[in-house]
Amino acid sequence: MQVSKFQPDRFLRDYWQKKPLLIKNPWGSWTNPLEPDELAGLACEDGIESRLITQADGALALEHGPFAETRFGELEGAPWTLLVQAVDHHVPEVSALLDSFRFIPNWRIDDVMVSYAVDQGGVGPHFDQYDVFLIQGLGKRRWQVGAPCDDRTELLPHDDLRLLASFEATQEWVLEPGDILYVPPGIPHNGIAIGDDCMTYSIGFRAPSRDELVVQWTEHLLDQSESDLHYADPDLALQNNPGEIAPEALAGLQAMITEKLQDRQAFARWFGQYNSMPKNLDIDWAPEVPIDAADLCALVSAPVFLTRNPASRFSFVRESAGSVVLFVDGQSYPCADECALFAERLCAIDEITVGPGDVKSQSTVAVIVALLNLGSIEIAEQD
């Protein structure tokens, strides 16, 4: 499905991380990609993150899955909402929704969470630290947004949910199937199901915090350090007061730290690996018997389709003209010339064609073999 009558450049200029936007059914025709019973089935499986939020006497309670198949039949009377994370990793039709949002760089995309709610069901007024597109899949939902929030915004005391202590709507819409609501970071929102069988597809985006990056990057540097550099001051001059930490000393101490922190190429390679770490390790496409270069060349004697594992993350960093580093599932693969072109194609779309000409490059063959054996890609079955 491709979004029509929507201008990505205008959206990025006027709305992205600036203000909410309602996009009235831009799909042309809309077909809900997942049935409620299928979503409930996923919530009963091990290894799939799911949550159930129930309402009683104005209070919300949270349960974590997997759930017994009988659990949903026990829910009577009070409103409730089922949330299932990373559904795009398990349902190709849900993963296909992402194709229409590729105007946002792939490394920012997190996953597609799917919710199902009965009449008046919802998760309460809250705000996120990341962008989200809320696609109405089935039924109707009233969405309200309010004034921007930040870390000082008061929250209700709750062990499991980050709910706003007070919420005043500034805008409100009723979304019908195919409608999309974009909500920037920090904008509080509250969704309430109108009628039963309300399904919403939430496309969330990764937004690493500064503290997260500092901690992870410095830990990586310490792990990779081959020597422990100590402070030295061979040009030490006599000080008037021995109690002073001189500006020259402070500059030297700080330089010991910032020299490593400011290595942009090292940071780029680390971040590519860190950001591409898979979120779901349970979707394993690795072959039972590993293949080698000769096996691959035999398989690609005629053009075949390479399909990306929906749970895998693909990105690249350009290091120079004709040279990139490919990042897949926490691993890095330096690629040059023909291999670099292959890496760029692989990162651009979920399925690409490779043929005998591609396996003439030994470096390309090595990357394809490694990714096949890791289960990051597979050769699609031919109809």
pLDDT of 21-66, one tens digit each? Answer: 999 999 888 999 999 999 999 999 998 999 999 998 878 999 999 9
Q: Please state which architecture CATH assigns to domain 293-379.
A: 3-Layer(aba) Sandwich (3.40)
pLDDT at 80 over 70: yes
- Vertex 277 angle, CA 276 and 278, to 5°: 105
Whether the CB-CB separation of 293 and 363 falls below 8 Å is answered with no
Query: Percent of the chain, pLDDT > 70?
Result: 98
HSE at residue 353, side-chain half, CA atoms within 13 A, is 7
pLDDT at 4 over 70: no
Question: CA 252, CA 233: separation in Å to the nearest integer?
Answer: 8
- For residues 381 and 111, the model is more confident at 111
Give 382's pLDDT tier (boundaries 50, 70, 90). Answer: low
The greatest distance separating any two alpha carbons of the chain, rounded to the nearest whole angstrom, comes to 84
**Which one of 161-165, 174-178, 299-303 scores highest in mean pLDDT?**
174-178
How confident is the model at residue 2, as a pLDDT? 40
How confident is the model at residue 355, as a pLDDT? 92
How confident is the model at residue 165, as a pLDDT? 93
Mean pLDDT, residues 223-248: 90
Domain limits of the chain?
8-205, 210-229+241-262, 293-379
How confident is the model at residue 383, as a pLDDT? 58
Question: CA 89, CA 279: separation in Å to the nearest integer?
Answer: 10
> At the top level of CATH, which class does the domain 8-205 belong to?
mainly beta
Question: CA 307, CA 286: separation in Å to the nearest integer?
Answer: 13
Give 229's pLDDT tier (boundaries 50, 70, 90). Answer: confident
Question: CA 219, CA 206: separation in Å to the nearest integer?
Answer: 21
Q: pLDDT tens digit string along 236-275?
A: 999 999 999 999 999 999 998 898 899 999 999 999 999 9
Question: CA 177, CA 96: separation in Å to the nearest integer?
Answer: 17
Nearest to 286 by CA among 326, 329, 316: 329
CA dihedral 294, 297, 299, 300 (to 10 degrees): 170
User: DSSP for 177-214?
Assistant: TT-EEEE-TT--EEEEEEEEEEEEEEEEE----HHHHH
How confident is the model at residue 330, as a pLDDT? 95
pLDDT at 3 over 80: no
Can you give the pTM of this predicted structure?
0.90
Whether the CB-CB separation of 34 and 10 falls below 8 Å is answered with no
Q: pLDDT tens digit string along 328-358?
A: 999 999 999 999 999 999 999 999 999 999 9
Question: CA 160, CA 77: separation in Å to the nearest integer?
Answer: 23
The residue type at 74: E
Question: CA 208, CA 160: separation in Å to the nearest integer?
Answer: 21
pLDDT at 1 over 70: no
pLDDT at 116 over 50: yes
Q: Which residues pair with 61 in a beta bridge?
A: 54
How confident is the model at residue 76, as a pLDDT? 79
How confident is the model at residue 260, as a pLDDT? 86
3-state secondary structure of 74: helix
Enumerate helices (H) and strands (E) in the chain, giving the number of each.
Answer: 9, 15
How confident is the model at residue 48, as a pLDDT? 94
Give 91's pLDDT tier (boundaries 50, 70, 90). Answer: very high
How confident is the model at residue 77, as a pLDDT? 81
Whether the CB-CB separation of 271 and 327 falls below 8 Å is answered with no
Mean pLDDT, residues 66-93: 93
